[in-house]
Structure 1
Amino acid sequence: MAQLDERKLDPALALASLDDTAPREPHRQFALKHGDCFAVADAYGDIRGAGDGFFRDDTRVLSEFRLTVGGRPTSLLGASLSQDNVLFTTNLTNLPIENLEGREVPQGAVHIERVRLLWENRLYERVTISNYSQQDSTIALSLHFAADFRDMFEVRGSTRAKRGTVHEAETSTGSVVLRYEGLDKLVRVSVISFSHSADNLSAGRADFRLAVPKRGRQIFYIEAGPDVAGQPSRQRFRAAAARARFGMRAKRRHGATIHSSGRVFNDWVGRARADVALLTTELETGPYPYAGIPWFSTAFGRDGVISALQMLWLNPGLARGVLAFLAQHQATETSPFSDSQPGKIMHETRKGEMAALLELPFGRYYGGVDTTPLYIHLACAYANRTGDMAFMDTLWPSLCAAADWIEEASRLTGFLTYQRAADTGLANQGWKDSFDSVFHADGRIPKGPIALVEVQGYVFAAFKGLAELASRRGETEKAGHWAERAEAMRIAVERHFWIEDLGFYALALDGDGNPCIVRTSNAGHLLYVGLPEAGRAERVADQLLAAPFHSGWGLRTVADDAIFFNPMSYHNGSIWPHDTAICGAGLARYGVRDDLVRLMSGTFESAVHFNMRLPELFCGFTRAPGEAPIAYPVACLPQAWSAGSVFMLMQACLGLEIDGWNGEIHVDRPRLPIGIDNLTIRHLGVGANAVDLTFQRVGDRVGAFLASRDEGKVPLIVRT
């Protein structure tokens, strides 16, 4: 049985005991993805076997992939991803070396370009060696490789008592076959092949003698995949690149697009849209945004729902895909090992060896207390956005089963609580799922079952939305019942979670009903669903925007006076862009617009420092003049709900809602981001129509108007 603890929930802790050469700058690593495979490498294009690698179906099929020239590492000139996230390119040069004729080649005389892409479970790489010296040279180039076939959870720090069998490598002049037979009897294979015959090829290294004339170049190709598919070549590389780019363009065309007067702002929006597209995988049920690379490149319930909510106003098709997948995988039986109960919505699914052998419960795991009400909330929001009652009809049995589970799970206390059913599961089952993320003011870890404040807000939103849907379906009895449940939850939260002396909501109630009197960003999620009465919402908003929470870059997860506050922690003082965005949307709901604009500005400036890509999280240190935000060591990058944060914040600033039932666009007191004078949303779908909606700054006000051939078919209702 694998040894698991909550260290796996904080990859920084899990990797602390690994190779000291592990990459420590997530924003200087580069990720590619296609389907259920992804690759993470450093700026050199090298894989070194710590948290990086080439992964397929939750197994690392390349744990080393390094290039040396003349027996030495290369020197980095620069690295980048293409705007569409399809191609990774790094530019390198040589350190001082000797060529194979025995002559010195000075540093900077040889240029090495590595271009890489993924397509259909295969890694393609083109290596171009250019000789800028004044002499012909035969240059030694070596590729160092290995495949440890470790399960993702092993890479994250879990230990296993026993592993499968690693077979002896099979080599030929043009390829090497690495093979592992797991304890699950599945044979996993990694084949590395070359366009040139290697002068020397072993189980872990391929050496090439490349004759490069002065002012000339040599190009060769490498592929790594599950089988031998043909000799790598220019034609194969170009064909894979063309198919990959076409596929990515097709994904990015879904939904509306955004263009503003700010060039750098547009770069952020474009990168975020490309990251959502990169992480979105086409499943049988439709598109699904995988959570993040490297640790969470799979379907997560909570992450998928929140990412879909962020993108809903632009691309409701993503929400439809998420809902269809989660409905298909809804629990139908009770299992303590997987934390499942009939009606509950999945938290996580995995395909690796450890999941298949039930060494851990994450093959299909249901230990997320918030996923089920969030699933219902997304369904109701999708219905309001699209008016798609036909899809709601197909989803209705699943929604009713999810509501039944919530009611049954809340029966004893009136609140939706969690307590893991088996020691292999997660101790904390909200979005902050570290072992120490829920605590009392004095540092005591509360005993379960635990009722998180934001989860009760999600339940309120779920029942309220279901009541409205049931009413539209003519099911008046259910509508009345769920409306009563929503109101009962609202009253209960106000009564039991509000701490008057603090002017804030408690983080949670423990198993004895005692509040965890800690100020956390969880309370901002209550604003997002509209539960608090106006006076209390104003007090919460004022505190979220004050220095203990607001670092200048975003909102900390915990106020800086909390006993466990640590700006370098995973959940207790760091900044999660999706959390900031949800809180920001909550502020907008209660009319806090100008401060929201400043919050979005800080988020944008953070993205600029992270090369236009917001990581999963970053450290919660207070912003200081001239300094950049500080990266969290091993945050996922890209992360779907971080990329989607810009769209949730933007919708909140614009005050934009689409009424799918009546085919109307509503704009309430719009604001534009700082430095943006106009912004256009193109091909915004409203029912069967598509319109272009423009926001224009006029003095100290912002106006909105439609400009398209369908503008007369879609009413625009603006409140300024």
Structure 2
Amino acid sequence: MSAEVAITLSSMVHPDEPVEQPFYIPMTGPTARPRRSLKHDDTFIVLDGHGDIGASAGGPDGLFHADTRYLARLELTLDDVQPLLLGSSLRDDNSGLTVDLTNPDIYRQGRHVLAKDILHIVRTIFLWRGTAYQRIGVQNHGDRRASFDLKLAFDNDFADLFEARGAVRPRRGTGSGRLMGPGEVVLDYRGLDEVVRTTALNFDPCPMRLAVNSASYHFDLEPQESISLFVTVTCNGGAGGEPGRFFRSMLAHRREMRRCTGGAASIETSNDILNEVLCQAAADLNILMTDTPQGRYPYAGIPWYSTTFGRDGLITALQMLWVDPRIARGVLRRLAVYQASKTDPLADAEPGKILHEMRGGEMAALREVPFACYYGSVDSTPLFVLLAGLYLDRTGDIETLQELWPAIERALHWIDGPGDPDHDGFVEYQRASEHGLANQGWKDSYDAVFHADGRLAEGNIALAEVQGYVFAGKRLAARCARRLGRVDLAERLELEAARLAERFETAFWCEELNTYALALDGDKNPCRVRTSNAGQLLFSGMVREDRARKVAADLLRPHFFSGWGIRTVAHGEVRYNPMSYHDGSIWPHDNALIALGLSRYGLKHAVEQVFTGLFEAAAYMDLRRLPELFCGFRREKHRGPTLYPVACVPQAWASATPFTLLEAALGLEFDADRGEIRLRNPRLPAFLDWVVLRDLRLGSSAIDLRIHRHGEDVSIEVLRRRGQIQVSMVLAQ
């Protein structure tokens, strides 16, 4: 996902001049405690390392459901002081968080009544079906009775997600709280949209004192005695009625998570650290997957993008297509349902456009923000066509293609019609409303598209990589059309793609830079800036081979390649800033798509360089997680990469990146019609001796493979085969 940023000032801005950015995500101070997040379907929670919500500064804390915060504070204290942290950890499958705490020295009226490290407090937290479950276990490890008060303070603001991100609203609805019994409190809010949202907190056993913002207990624990408290926080009554018992619900949740991962290929390698990276990435993708009426959909990221995003879902599905094509099917079916059918300037909607994002909060419902169903993305539509074609190649699923075909045709009509407003043959964007996104490619920061002198591009902007998506989409759509017997349409699409490639070479190639322009502005002037956008053109396969090699060579020089990955903007460009969102940072998914392009053009040494840099970056990251982005500073010996302070973690397309890098290294290709899996010019990086792919499916057949590295060559061993399936290795210059 990329930031939702629009500006209301002139786009003629000096690089150092501050601008108004209504959807900017602020960072106003350091994070006092590290944050951990959990998600289940449309509900997610962000807690600090103590298991608290809202107890420390610097984090986007809360229990959120459908883009609204349903709990803004839940803080545990002992005798009115915060306990000490021993440690906290997520389960390997991301199904829950466990926090170990102990007591500090406790004084009453100047008298020392409890020595530190006597009580062991364990908080176990998980999310399931719209409810946050928590067990608080306390055991006395002392040699005498321990007497103490335990208090849970809670509160809520029912803030819209955009308010939680910093938006200020002149008017809000009304909230209240009430006791429903000795162990239950209900907080509710009637929004300006007339929707009533409720948070129900249940405490078991019942507290000694219960108020609308706190639950208080007193305990006298004998040596080795332990007690357990259970708290549930339910959003709008929950998805499955009354919340179940803690342990029964926890086991059901874990079984559900295991069941959802069945049917995907699994990977094991000779490198233990890469195995950890891949396992964490798979677990992160699993929690980001959300059940929808059209199938499972990868929500973009936590905390700010936990919803349906078109571009993010499409690219994540593309990255994971070789591992689990069911993701692509769910993404395509859902986006087809929400394809725009009418013109709506506030939503940037035009018939045939594919969704950018959708939101379910109060501000979206009132159109205080335009994102209820927002279409301000120039690339989601060609990516939809592209993914549909790749899905057919991967699976041979003609039934799903037939279901999607009307949406594909509408998308193609938008590409050739409203998507090209000046009829110059390039797909362009310009926001239809000042409330929308100023830039509508994946680099959608206000300052992401600029000229060599720093001036921001204006008018109808044609991004380089978008033309590549259109080219690849039309060629793939032509193959789909042939499968459906639409030969005339197939020939027309192939011809249009070829003509687009010719026009593109003439309009975008910058001989003096040995790369392609970032974009054309509204006056058809090229933005002669070295950016990673040119690298994604290799993924599309549109560009000439001699020029592709020049682009690749440039991307791997020090002004682009930091040692950890390829920067979004090359060092030396006027707006280069390694700490920016899009103007010099490193985005794992961007590097992954570039790696696929390098592989397409047979540049396997370059693939290895990118793969190695990102793998070594992931080895330094917390939990071995690649974040949404990190800073583009040059790599230095004995130091890890520099993090970006408000990057989303986990983020779907970042989590998918290790799988894409492996695909690029192996040169994996699938031919469903012939029942064949090909490895084209496979090459394993030096940190891998072997890779095992299990349950690699093609149609109703599956195979297990072991790939061994022998210097720069590999060998393939078939470990197991189910059904009719062929494997071949293609070696070509």
TM-score band, normalised by shorter chain: over 0.9
| Cα displacement (A) at 1:4 | 7.2
| Distance in structure 1 (CA, Å) of the matches to 2:515 and 2:711 | 37
Contact 1:195 1:233 in 2 (8 A): no
Q: Could you tell me which residue of structure 1 aligns to residue 164 of structure 2?
A: 155
Does residue 23 (structure 1) correspond to residue 31 (structure 2)? The answer is yes
| Distance in structure 2 (CA, Å) of the matches to 1:95 and 1:494 | 68
User: In structure 2, do the counterparts of structure 1 residues 677 and 191 end up closer, same or farther at CA, with 3 Å as the change threshold?
Assistant: same
Contact 1:100 1:137 in 2 (8 A): no
Does residue 687 (structure 1) correspond to residue 699 (structure 2)? The answer is yes
Letter aligned with residue 730 of structure 2 = R
Contact 1:24 1:633 in 2 (8 A): no
Q: Could you tell me which residue of structure 2 aligns to residue 387 of structure 1?
A: 396
Of stretches 294-303 and 672-681 in structure 1, the one that deviates more from structure 2 is 672-681
User: In structure 2, do the counterparts of structure 1 residues 167 and 75 end up closer, same or farther at CA, with 3 Å as the change threshold?
Assistant: same
| Distance in structure 1 (CA, Å) of the matches to 2:434 and 2:242 | 51
| Cα displacement (A) at 1:471 | 2.2
CA displacement, residues 348-402 of structure 1 (integer Å, 9 cap, x when unaligned): 0111011111112110011100000000000000001111112111111111110
| Distance in structure 1 (CA, Å) of the matches to 2:563 and 2:79 | 48
| Distance in structure 1 (CA, Å) of the matches to 2:211 and 2:620 | 42
Q: Could you tell me which residue of structure 1 aligns to residue 661 of structure 2?
A: 649
Aligned residues: 709
User: In structure 2, do the counterparts of structure 1 residues 464 and 235 end up closer, same or farther at CA, with 3 Å as the change threshold?
Assistant: closer
Letter aligned with residue 667 of structure 1 = L
Q: Could you tell me which residue of structure 2 aligns to residue 592 of structure 1?
A: 603
Letter aligned with residue 43 of structure 1 = G
User: In structure 2, do the counterparts of structure 1 residues 157 and 227 end up closer, same or farther at CA, with 3 Å as the change threshold?
Assistant: closer
Does residue 435 (structure 1) correspond to residue 454 (structure 2)? The answer is no
- What value does the CA root-mean-square deviation take over the aligned residues? 2.1
CA displacement, residues 239-279 of structure 1 (integer Å, 9 cap, x when unaligned): 11111101110111131111122222111111111111110
Q: Could you tell me which residue of structure 1 aligns to residue 375 of structure 2?
A: 366
Match of 1:618 among 630, 654, 659: 630
| Cα displacement (A) at 1:570 | 1.0
Contact 1:100 1:139 in 2 (8 A): no
Does residue 658 (structure 1) correspond to residue 684 (structure 2)? The answer is no
Q: Could you tell me which residue of structure 1 aligns to residue 648 of structure 2?
A: 636
Contact 2:131 2:243 in 1 (8 A): no
Q: Could you tell me which residue of structure 1 aligns to residue 484 of structure 2?
A: 473
| Distance in structure 1 (CA, Å) of the matches to 2:445 and 2:650 | 21
| Distance in structure 1 (CA, Å) of the matches to 2:472 and 2:728 | 25
User: In structure 2, do the counterparts of structure 1 residues 264 and 80 end up closer, same or farther at CA, with 3 Å as the change threshold?
Assistant: same
Of stretches 210-219 and 166-175 in structure 1, the one that deviates more from structure 2 is 166-175
Contact 1:9 1:434 in 2 (8 A): no
| Cα displacement (A) at 1:453 | 0.5
| Cα displacement (A) at 1:93 | 1.8
Q: Could you tell me which residue of structure 1 aligns to residue 311 of structure 2?
A: 302
Letter aligned with residue 571 of structure 2 = D
Q: Could you tell me which residue of structure 2 aligns to residue 558 of structure 1?
A: 569
| Distance in structure 2 (CA, Å) of the matches to 1:397 and 1:350 | 25
Contact 1:29 1:43 in 2 (8 A): yes
Letter aligned with residue 634 of structure 1 = V
Contact 1:419 1:449 in 2 (8 A): yes
| Distance in structure 2 (CA, Å) of the matches to 1:72 and 1:533 | 67
Of stretches 97-106 and 563-572 in structure 1, the one that deviates more from structure 2 is 97-106
Does residue 348 (structure 1) correspond to residue 369 (structure 2)? The answer is no
Letter aligned with residue 299 of structure 2 = Y
| Cα displacement (A) at 1:225 | 0.5
Structural mapping, 1:315-334, within 5 Å: 315-334=324-343
Does residue 40 (structure 1) correspond to residue 46 (structure 2)? The answer is yes
| Cα displacement (A) at 1:235 | 7.6
Contact 2:530 2:570 in 1 (8 A): yes
Contact 2:98 2:124 in 1 (8 A): yes
Contact 1:577 1:642 in 2 (8 A): yes
Does residue 667 (structure 1) correspond to residue 676 (structure 2)? The answer is no
Contact 2:27 2:645 in 1 (8 A): no
Contact 1:100 1:140 in 2 (8 A): no
| Cα displacement (A) at 1:700 | 4.2
Contact 1:8 1:14 in 2 (8 A): no
Does residue 278 (structure 1) correspond to residue 290 (structure 2)? The answer is no
Q: Secondary structure at the match of 2:346?
A: coil
Q: Secondary structure at the match of 2:136?
A: strand
Of stretches 245-254 and 93-102 in structure 1, the one that deviates more from structure 2 is 93-102
| Cα displacement (A) at 1:102 | 5.8
Match of 1:214 among 212, 223, 230: 223
CA displacement, residues 402-457 of structure 1 (integer Å, 9 cap, x when unaligned): 00100012252211000000111111000011111111111111111100000011
Letter aligned with residue 40 of structure 2 = H
| Distance in structure 1 (CA, Å) of the matches to 2:311 and 2:22 | 18
Does residue 450 (structure 1) correspond to residue 461 (structure 2)? The answer is yes
Q: Secondary structure at the match of 1:704?
A: strand
| Distance in structure 2 (CA, Å) of the matches to 1:595 and 1:406 | 33
| Distance in structure 2 (CA, Å) of the matches to 1:693 and 1:70 | 59
Letter aligned with residue 76 of structure 1 = L
Q: Could you tell me which residue of structure 2 aligns to residue 69 of structure 1?
A: 78
Letter aligned with residue 309 of structure 1 = L
Structural mapping, 1:400-439, within 5 Å: 400-408=409-417, 409-410=419-420, 412-439=423-450
Does residue 128 (structure 1) correspond to residue 134 (structure 2)? The answer is no
Of stretches 428-437 and 64-73 in structure 1, the one that deviates more from structure 2 is 64-73
Letter aligned with residue 323 of structure 1 = L
Q: Could you tell me which residue of structure 2 aligns to residue 706 of structure 1?
A: 718
Dislocated runs of 4+, deviation >4 Å: 3-11, 99-103, 232-235
Q: Could you tell me which residue of structure 2 aligns to residue 602 of structure 1?
A: 613
Contact 2:469 2:540 in 1 (8 A): yes
Match of 1:242 among 251, 274, 293: 251
What's the TM-score once normalised by structure 2's chain length?
A: 0.93
Letter aligned with residue 158 of structure 1 = A
CA displacement, residues 588-627 of structure 1 (integer Å, 9 cap, x when unaligned): 1111112312321221222222121111111111111111
Of stretches 448-457 and 562-571 in structure 1, the one that deviates more from structure 2 is 562-571
Letter aligned with residue 152 of structure 2 = L
Q: Secondary structure at the match of 2:695?
A: strand
Q: Secondary structure at the match of 1:493?
A: helix
| Cα displacement (A) at 1:697 | 2.0
Contact 1:461 1:529 in 2 (8 A): yes
| Distance in structure 2 (CA, Å) of the matches to 1:517 and 1:486 | 24
| Cα displacement (A) at 1:657 | 0.8
CA displacement, residues 638-686 of structure 1 (integer Å, 9 cap, x when unaligned): 1110000011111000111111121101111212243222211111111
Identity of aligned residues (%): 43
| Distance in structure 2 (CA, Å) of the matches to 1:130 and 1:535 | 69
Letter aligned with residue 98 of structure 1 = Y
Contact 1:310 1:645 in 2 (8 A): yes
Contact 2:177 2:185 in 1 (8 A): no
| Distance in structure 1 (CA, Å) of the matches to 2:115 and 2:7 | 51
Contact 2:131 2:234 in 1 (8 A): yes
Q: Secondary structure at the match of 2:624?
A: coil
Does residue 493 (structure 1) correspond to residue 504 (structure 2)? The answer is yes
| Cα displacement (A) at 1:699 | 4.6
Contact 2:6 2:438 in 1 (8 A): no
Q: Could you tell me which residue of structure 1 aligns to residue 581 of structure 2?
A: 570
Match of 2:639 among 627, 631, 636: 627
Give structure 1 stretches of 5+ with no counterpart: none
Contact 2:429 2:460 in 1 (8 A): yes
CA displacement, residues 113-152 of structure 1 (integer Å, 9 cap, x when unaligned): 1110001000000111122222211121111211110001
Contact 1:99 1:105 in 2 (8 A): no
What's the TM-score once normalised by structure 1's chain length?
A: 0.95
| Distance in structure 2 (CA, Å) of the matches to 1:673 and 1:223 | 48
Q: Could you tell me which residue of structure 1 aligns to residue 545 of structure 2?
A: 534
Q: Secondary structure at the match of 2:168?
A: coil
Q: Secondary structure at the match of 1:442?
A: coil
Letter aligned with residue 578 of structure 2 = P
| Distance in structure 2 (CA, Å) of the matches to 1:532 and 1:590 | 10
